[in-house]
Amino acid sequence: MRIGIEAHTIEKQEKLGAGGNYLSQILKEWSKLNPDEYQFILYFKDIIPQEKYLDSPVFIKKLVRTPIKSTALFYNVFMPLAAKKDKLDILFLPFYMRPFFCFIPTITAIHDISFKTHPEWISWNYKLPFRLLSWLAIKTSKAILACSKYTKQEIIKNYKISPEKIYTIYLAADGNFNNQKNKQEIQKSKQKYEIDKKYLFFTGSIFNRRHVLESIKALEEVLEKNPNYRFLISGRDLTRPAQHIDKINTIKRVQYVNADDLKNIYQGAELFVWLSEYEGFGLPILEAMASGTPVLTTKMTSLAEVIGDYPIWINDTNNINEIKEKMIKILTDENLRKKMIEKGLEQASKFSWRKTAEETLKVLSNYAK
């Protein structure tokens, strides 16, 4: 079986982002398959990553040349032309959009539809391609992969398509995230990011809907009585309207925590804070749980599916007092912390990339011509 995969989201392995992480984790699992049974043709735009798992004989790696450097030309014209030439059984599109000119059957992963339900969150240069090419994907792909039941229902509600066309396939935390703590390694990572106190942690793109600013304000009130904490925030500030997170002196912010340090930073945190009101899944929450770290989050949108019957959460992400009181409770109540850690580890164990990869391959195989 010959399955094509649009793979430009994994070209920058050091900074994959959510879409790139999703694809790379699936490919790592597929790299273990029998090449006599499966062949995956990976289409790249600028570079072919030098990753060991990509050397598996199940993968054929192709760099698609374009006359000028253009993601739009690569995605909409030259990549699908290369796919047609390769006589694929199916083309897997792991990042929302279907090429405008596509000549073979496709299956598309739609991670959320915030571009449709909350267009005010999307910068102007992304609005048209996301809305047009995602609409095309949802309407014309043989099947859609959604990473939560919530996202599936959102797609059905907004695009009026058959539920039978959409498959819910959950994501998972990388096996690297676990609660086997090495105190020396945690300390090294803390020193690298200049953390000299106990700390709370947030990682991910900083959107208004994730209420990082409200989290900071709540912690500032906590610090009035207990100044022995810092707030480490990792991610690009993409708030619209801008909240200027960088100008707040009570936090430590970095653009990026590299993969080698991320496990240690999760494990060393007293609390992982992720107060999102909208997500297609919410992978960092699962990573923190798998690392044995208490999590303060919400049960909004897909996050109820991720945290399950977790013992504590935020009801109102704009209520600074609620956030503050629950921060204090988690930081001071050892019995609650123990229960949160146990529940988190139990919940994280229910998800695996192996299962994600197997279920994804089953859908691709079922729809291959």
Global pTM?
0.94
Name 333's Cβ contacts closer than 8 Å, sequence gap at least 6. Answer: none
Query: Could you tell me the pLDDT band of residue 369, with boundaries at 50, 70 and 90?
Result: low
Q: What is the mean pLDDT of residues 317-323?
A: 98
Alpha carbon of 165 to those of 135, 137, 146, 160, 226: distances in Å? 14, 12, 10, 11, 53
Per-residue model confidence (pLDDT) at position 250: 82
User: Could you report how far apart the first and last alpha carbons of the chain are, in Å?
Assistant: 10
Q: What is the pLDDT of residues 340-363, one digit of tens each?
A: 999 999 999 999 999 999 999 999
Q: What is the pLDDT of residues 186-232, one digit of tens each?
A: 999 999 999 999 999 999 999 999 999 999 999 999 999 889 999 99
Residue 225 · residue 291 · CB < 8 Å? no
Mean of all residue pLDDT scores within the chain = 94
Indicate if the pLDDT at residue 31 is higher than 70.
yes
Nearest-angstrom CA–CA distance, 282 and 300 = 11
Beta strand pairing status for 271-273 and 198-203? parallel
Nearest C-alpha neighbor of 22 from the set 274, 201, 206, 286: 286
Nearest-angstrom CA–CA distance, 301 and 153 = 10
Q: What is the mean pLDDT of residues 119-131?
A: 83
Query: Could you tell me the pLDDT band of residue 13, with boundaries at 50, 70 and 90?
Result: low
Query: Could you tell me the pLDDT band of residue 125, with boundaries at 50, 70 and 90?
Result: confident
Burial label, 64 (beta-carbon count in 10 A; 0-12, 13-18, 19+): buried
Indicate if the pLDDT at residue 14 is higher than 70.
no
Per-residue model confidence (pLDDT) at position 334: 97
Residue 40 · residue 5 · CB < 8 Å? yes
Residue ranges, comma separated, of all CATH 3.40.50.2000 domains in the chain are: 2-172+353-367, 183-348
Nearest C-alpha neighbor of 251 from the set 237, 261, 264: 237
Residue with tokens 């994804």: 360
Q: What is the CA radius of gyration of the chain?
A: 21
E strand or H helix at 263: helix 259-268
CA-based torsion, 143, 145, 149, 155: positive or negative: negative
Burial label, 22 (beta-carbon count in 10 A; 0-12, 13-18, 19+): buried
- What is the topology classification, in CATH, of domain 2-172+353-367? Rossmann fold (3.40.50)
Per-residue model confidence (pLDDT) at position 249: 79
CATH, range 183-348: 3.40.50.2000
Q: What is the pLDDT of residues 133-170, one digit of tens each?
A: 999 999 999 999 999 999 999 999 999 999 999 999 99
Of 2-16, 70-84, 321-335, which gets the smallest average pLDDT?
A: 2-16
Per-residue model confidence (pLDDT) at position 315: 98
